[in-house]
Structure 1
């Protein structure tokens, strides 16, 4: 089963993102790293080693990953802080264990809104403009179904 290190968002941002898509079984987040379960220990060791503070984000654009299945997502404006967090985590684990889509240079930061039958028109109708968010914690998650294996809150400044 896959495991991932994800950036959890503040509650207001999670609620705003959730209103745009289908009800998902895990709150909206940004996946920073993904690997197969054999790499779970390496991902768990990486989480506490990275120096990081909360990350301010603005979700400003929609996107689709073609399937199957199709994924509808909202993308944040990429900032140096978000890239630095991703790069630091990726550098802390062997590149060969990472899923190709999350390796540096290939990673597309996003928050999934829907998977499968995507209703882009409905999401756009609910869109009221950019969503400010703050990434407050890292979680190590195994899925499916999502099970949180570890959590690290990001200390303020």
Structure 2
């Protein structure tokens, strides 16, 4: 079964992303049974101990996030996502985890240089115009959130195997 290390957001950020997702056909949170998040790493069964060690050892703190755009992975199934502004702090968090692992432990989509940070909103019946209509306050700028914890998750269905709170800083 696949494993992932995810970046969980503060309650306010998760609530805003959930509200945006709930306005869309194909909203994934109810399907997944797991809150909005950014997947940092992904691999198969044998990587669980390595992912757990990397997650525990990474010298990283909480990360400020600003979701400023939408994107579509064409699929199938098509996936509509909210894209955070890629900052040095977000890249450093990803690198701190990925660099602690052999490259072949990582799914090709999450390897450094190929990773596209995103929070999936909807899958399948992707409607970009509905996403734009659901945006919280048109013209108000990005949706702000804070990445506050790392979770090691086995899926499907999602089972949190470890959680690490990220210190403020």
Aligned to 1:8: 8
> What CA distance in whole angstroms lies between the structure 1 residues aligned with 2:163 and 2:105?
21
Aligned to 1:79: 87
| Structure 2 unpaired stretches of 5+ | 22-26
Aligned structure 1 segments of 4 or more residues deviating by more than 2 angstroms:
none
After superposition, residues 1-157 of structure 1 pair within 5 angstroms as 1-21=1-21, 22-24=27-29, 25-127=33-135, 128=137, 129-157=141-169
Number of matched pairs: 157
Aligned to 2:24: none
SS in 1 for 2:3: strand
> What CA distance in whole angstroms lies between the structure 2 residues aligned with 1:44 and 1:142?
12
| Structure 1 unpaired stretches of 5+ | none
Mean alpha-carbon deviation: is it higher for 36-45 or for 131-140?
36-45
Cα drift, residue 72 of structure 1: 0.5
SS in 2 for 1:51: coil
SS in 1 for 2:126: coil
Cα drift, residue 120 of structure 1: 2.0
Cα drift, residue 23 of structure 1: 4.9
> What CA distance in whole angstroms lies between the structure 2 residues aligned with 1:90 and 1:23?
26
TM-score after normalising by structure 2 = 0.90
8 Å CA contact 2:28, 2:123 repeated in 1 = no
